[in-house]
Amino acid sequence: MVRGEKKVYSVDQGLSNGVGYRLNQNLGSLLENAVYLELRRYGEKSIFYYYGKNEVDFLIVQDNEVRKAYQVSFTLNDEKEVKGLREVLKRRKVEAYVLTFDDDEREIEDIKVRKVWKWMLSL
């Protein structure tokens, strides 16, 4: 379930934009990059992503087991944002989150929807 494919994230978004390398073209991608940097800053070393029929932006592996799954979305107005998390939850018992700028925090089945800024402050 955890695949070895790689995504590329910038450690300095300003620098990458300054030299003309636009790694991120939209707000959702910028937010995903910021979440990646927070996970690294927090000390997560084994960060993967999942794609099957759908995608999950971040899988956190600890002790050779997937422990957490994060989907990052600027707004949660599309069902596809939780489909990948549902795929993961069918296979494994993990903590599943959607991180967003939406105003309301809630739960969708076993998926916790959290404001990204609150999540960052809680690390």
Q: DSSP letter string over 26-42? A: SHHHHHHHHHHHHHHHH
DSSP type of residue 112: E
**Residue 2: its pLDDT value, please?**
43
* Alpha helices for the chain (secondary structure H): 13-18, 27-42, 80-91, 116-122
* All structural domains of the chain: 13-122 (3.40.1350)
Are the CB atoms for 59 and 50 separated by under 8 Å? Answer: yes
pTM confidence score: 0.85
pLDDT tens for the 123 residues of the chain, in order: 444 456 777 777 776 666 655 554 677 788 898 999 999 998 888 988 888 889 999 999 999 999 999 999 988 888 888 999 999 999 999 999 999 998 789 999 899 999 999 999 998
